[in-house]
Amino acid sequence: MDFSSVELITFDCYGTLIDWETGMLAALRSLFPDHAHISEEKFLSMYGEIEARLEAGPYLSYRTVLSRTAEEMGRSLGVKLSAEDCQQFAESLKQWPPFSDSVESLQALAKHYRLGIISNTDDDLFAASQKLLQTDFALIVTAQQVQCYKPSVVNFYEAIKRSGIPKDKILHAGQSLYHDIAPANILRLRNVWVNRRFGKQGPGATVAGDAKPGLEVRSLAELAAVMIPAG
């Protein structure tokens, strides 16, 4: 893939820049302390299935999606969670950590490209994550702003419109084949699959997808190595 014309790289946030599975699992384990026998993959797949269903319906804030997902997981596990418990899970997102290579790689890429975000989240939740990422973004498109969730192409159209440049000068990078690579392909938007789950079983907390990315890397550091000109 030729990247010579790229001026803007847009990123998915949670799963790509923020290690949401680590943060999510820690929060879920604290919600369900009597279910230590349930595997990480089971927790993640339960989360992913419920979240995708809620996001596919009438628009709800992401904070509400997180709270209701926790509530439905509790119901499936025979645990009645309080509204406070569910809210606490939603608020835990603000502490979910960046991947170890995210901050350094973003700062290196920012010296050569404009950077953007297309994320299924609320503005204030992303603001907390942005502080952890220590990066300024030229554009930020959240689900709250467009009132819908990826894999809708609406989120991507909005980012392209705000960028002020032709889409052939944009590269989108994301961890989810379902949420990011598939809609990018529909729009013929150049894309990179940041396969953070390489070597692991299943799609984790996302929905399984079969979209074919323009390029696959296993980390943000690998993407930076590909994108930053030598010398």
Angle between helices 102-109 and 220-227 (to 10 degrees): 20
Neighbouring-strand partners of residue 14: 18
Can you list the positions of beta strands (E) in the chain? 8-11, 114-119, 139-142, 170-174, 190-194, 215-217
CB 9 within 8 A of CB 116: yes
Give catalytic status of residue 12 as yes or no.
Answer: yes
Residue 59, both tokens: 């628009």
**Does residue 140 come out as left (phi exceeding 0), alpha (psi in the -120 to 50 range) or beta?**
beta
Burial of 111 (0-12, 13-18, 19+ CB in 10 A): exposed
CB 175 within 8 A of CB 206: yes
Which residues are tagged catalytic?
A: 12
